[in-house]
Amino acid sequence: MSGAAAVMAAWLAAGAAGAVLPEGTARYAMLLGGEPVGIVELALRCEGPSCTATWESRQRLPAEAGGGVRARRVEVQVDRGGRALGPARVQGPEGVRSVALPRGAVPVMLAEVVLAATVPGIPEAAATCVDATDERSGGALRACGQRRGGWLEVTIGREPERVRGQPGRFPEEIEVPAQGVRFVLDPRAGLPSAPPRLFGVRVAGPEDLREAEAFCGVPRDPAPSPDAAHGLPAPTAAGPTCREKTAAWLARARAAGLRGRTAVGVAFDGGAWVWHAWAEAHVGGRWVPVDPSFHQAPARGPRFTLATWEDGDEAGRADAGRRILQCWGRARVLASPG
């Protein structure tokens, strides 16, 4: 047996026995777009051949989604190799429920820890995979990892991640590039007291703008007619963010006797896909997009309107908050196939 093969065999044997899985609690600061948005605690406590694994998160929501705190907790009994021994107990805003898991599969919340314990610490080693399961749905998937330099390159299902840390310890950092999310080990991490920034936060998407097709289930907005904004106020307004500029422009439009509303979604700002807000004015029986941040009337460039509401429409604003919450930190701009 070669030296590399011997190292791999030793690591795999240790991981299979669960000997190198860490015990205790790790607290992480959760960052979205580089900004702290919450905390996550991962705990593993063992007695005899079984362990109790818990994953708890508290996340401060953006003001557009109410600014409150969303909390979730998952508890699963696993063996010392991190494999599920029974159902998951999932607690969240929707209540408490039990989710059946495939026996012997690694819950996703432990996938990075298990892979870090089983993947050899040599960059040239082949990828190692384990059977995994989404503890929120019970769905089966594969989780694979391969060492590259100081990082463990991980794929959970189809989601790529990067994990930094040492085998036998909780990861020091986890990156989910497609979501712009990082989890950084920090025992002093706390929940942000103020809602995090939403607008201007980057969203992953294709570099070729012509390929942009959908965002969070919403198709790309159709291109407006160039003369659709005839008679509207100039697409300029003062304010520190796109939200304030949109509100200022809508106030001018209403003063001119026009009907207007706020639109939120994702747009390309010339350098990246970002969360954005702009206005829509009702002209000639149709809604015309106007972007006072980009100085465009009608608004051009690829964008995806997630939700709209008029001034005083609290139900519409609440619905927009729910739509933002569904997509915030999870969705990316999808490219057309081929």
CA distance 106 to 140: 9
Q: Which of 149, 71, 163, 146 is nearest to 110 (CA)?
A: 163
CA distance 119 to 152: 8
Contacts of 300 (CB under 8 A, 6+ apart): 223, 224, 294
- For 237-265, give the secondary structure using H, E and C: CCCCCHHHHHHHHHHHHHHCCCCEEEEEE
pLDDT given at position 100:
97
* DSSP letters for 174-228: EEEGGGTEEEEE-TT----SSPPP-TT-EE---SSGGGEEEETTEEPPPPPPTTT
pLDDT given at position 104:
92
Locate 106 and state its tokens: 């690694």
8 Å CB contact between 80 and 17: yes
Contacts of 13 (CB under 8 A, 6+ apart): none
Residue with tokens 């659709």: 228
pLDDT tens column, 144-164:
999 888 899 999 998 899 999
Contacts of 197 (CB under 8 A, 6+ apart): 33, 35, 62
8 Å CB contact between 30 and 71: no
pLDDT given at position 121:
67
pLDDT given at position 9:
37
pLDDT given at position 20:
67
pLDDT given at position 118:
83
pLDDT given at position 12:
38
pLDDT given at position 296:
94
pLDDT given at position 122:
66
8 Å CB contact between 199 and 277: yes
Contacts of 136 (CB under 8 A, 6+ apart): 74, 88, 90, 99
Q: Kindly give the confidence (pLDDT) of every residue in the chain, 338 residues in length, as a single tens digit, with 9 standing for 90 and above.
A: 344 343 333 333 444 444 468 999 999 999 987 889 999 999 999 999 999 999 999 999 888 888 899 999 999 999 999 999 999 999 998 899 999 999 899 999 999 999 988 887 666 677 889 999 999 999 999 999 998 888 999 999 988 999 998 878 999 999 988 777 899 999 999 999 999 988 998 898 999 999 999 999 999 999 888 888 888 999 999 999 999 999 999 999 999 999 999 999 999 999 999 999 999 999 988 999 999 999 999 998 899 999 999 999 988 888 898 899 888 877 889 998 75
